[in-house]
């Protein structure tokens, strides 16, 4: 394919934000910044064979997820996404039509949030497909939700349900099976096309102090990051963690999907107990599913504990880590 012809094809015909002065077509994008707001910038790289399997995912699925996981990072800060840039290292086996489909699916997702594609890069490679997405968002000054905001007495909560994405991957890899085609399709869709929790993140930003993380590497991993950043201890009740009603039928160790599987891209966080009821009601008013799963304790230990019946055991970081 011709690099410059491809760039012409993926260049948006119009932009949603007037502050963009220079988009695709120069050495860098340029846009004005609003007074009273802070910019949020995040970047993620996905590699074929590590973060996705092109043999099990369509080009559209890959493009969608590459953008979705970055939008999720903006949600975890309490912000709203506005711009994105895409860098591709394209193997020779990929044709122009497949690449265009990737961008089309990214564009469909971006339109939901009125995001503009403002740049990127395309190169060829002898290795696997590599896609890097940068997303730029904004939030009102002083409203950002940080991992370090948790305090003793806070309510711990999650959005949505956990474990479905990991179960979907296990189905794709034929590590588990089910005769329920509807369930299989649902779980696989949860893995391939996660929904970023932007609405939930925006609601969180309305409150004075909320700690947030998106669940990319597993609930245990994300909770431990909050505990370390805030220097607190966290108690989680296993029977309170939301999950699909049929999940336990798929595998005897289904709890691992919930606690360590990751890639649900829901939000986990803490909020003052005084704000919890109002927060939960505001979420319900906006059709955002939110569940209390524990609390931040008064202990001096910087640990996460899982409570099941009479047992209280440390919940270690066992989510996916690249260099272990």
- Tell me which fold the domain 3-140 belongs to: 60s Ribosomal Protein L30; Chain: A; (3.30.1330)
- Tell me the CATH architecture of domain 147-314: Alpha-Beta Complex (3.90)
Q: Which residues of the chain does CATH 3.30.1330.10 include?
A: 3-140
pLDDT in tens, the chain (324 residues): 665 677 778 788 888 888 777 777 655 566 677 888 889 999 999 999 988 889 999 999 999 999 999 999 999 999 999 999 999 999 988 999 999 999 999 999 999 999 999 999 999 999 999 999 999 999 998 899 999 999 999 999 999 999 999 999 999 999 999 999 999 999 999 999 999 999 999 999 999 999 999 999 999 999 999 999 999 999 999 999 999 999 999 988 899 999 999 999 999 999 999 999 999 999 999 999 999 999 999 788 889 999 998 899 999 887 655 445
pLDDT recorded at residue 16: 87
Which pLDDT tens digit goes with each residue over 160-176?
Answer: 999 999 999 999 999 99
Could you tell me if 155 and 295 are in contact, meaning their C-beta atoms sit under 8 angstroms apart?
yes
Q: What is the CA radius of gyration of the chain?
A: 20
Q: Which residues of the chain does CATH 3.90.650.10 include?
A: 147-314
Could you list the residues known to form a binding site for Mg(2+), using ranges.
27, 44, 73, 121, 214, 217
Q: How far apart are CA 315 and CA 312, in angstroms?
A: 9
Could you list the residues known to form a binding site, using ranges.
27, 44, 51, 73, 103, 120-121, 147, 214, 216-217, 263, 320
Q: How far apart are CA 181 and CA 167, in angstroms?
A: 14
DSSP code per residue over 272-286:
-HHHHHHHHHHHHHT
Question: Looking at the whole model, is its pTM more than 0.85?
Answer: yes
Could you list the residues known to form a binding site for ATP, using ranges.
103, 120-121, 147, 216
């Amino acid at each position: 394919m011709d690099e410059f012809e491809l760039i012409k094809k993926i260049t948006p015909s119009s932009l949603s934000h007037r502050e963009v002065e220079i988009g695709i077509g120069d050495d860098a994008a340029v846009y004005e910044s609003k007074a009273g707001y802070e910019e949020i910038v995040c970047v993620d790289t996905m590699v074929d064979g590590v973060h996705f399997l092109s043999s099990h995912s369509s080009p559209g699925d890959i493009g969608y997820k590459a953008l979705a996981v970055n939008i999720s990072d903006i949600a975890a800060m309490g912000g709203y996404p506005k711009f994105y840039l895409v860098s591709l290292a394209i193997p020779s086996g990929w044709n122009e039509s497949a690449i265009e489909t990737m961008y089309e699916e990214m564009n469909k997702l971006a339109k939901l949030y009125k995001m503009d594609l403002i740049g990127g890069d395309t190169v060829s490679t002898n290795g696997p497909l590599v896609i890097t997405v940068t997303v730029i968002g904004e939030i009102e000054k002083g409203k950002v939700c940080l991992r370090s905001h948790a305090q003793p007495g806070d309510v711990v909560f999650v959005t949505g349900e956990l474990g479905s994405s990991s179960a979907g991957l296990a189905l794709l890899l034929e590590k588990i099976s089910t005769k329920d085609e509807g369930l299989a399709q649902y779980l696989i869709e949860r893995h391939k096309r996660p929904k970023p929790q932007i609405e939930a993140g925006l609601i969180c930003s309305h409150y004075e102090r909320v700690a947030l993380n998106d669940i990319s590497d597993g609930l245990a991993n994300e909770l431990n990051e909050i505990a370390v950043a805030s220097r607190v201890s966290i108690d989680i009740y296993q029977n309170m963690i939301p999950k699909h009603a049929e999940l336990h039928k798929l595998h005897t160790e289904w709890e691992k999907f919930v606690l360590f599987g990751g890639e649900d891209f829901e939000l986990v966080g803490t909020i003052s107990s005084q704000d919890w009821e109002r927060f939960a009601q505001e979420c319900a008013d906006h059709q955002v599913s939110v569940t209390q799963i524990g609390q931040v304790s008064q202990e001096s230990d910087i640990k996460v504990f899982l409570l099941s019946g009479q047992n209280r055991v440390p919940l270690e970081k066992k989510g996916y880590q690249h260099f272990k």
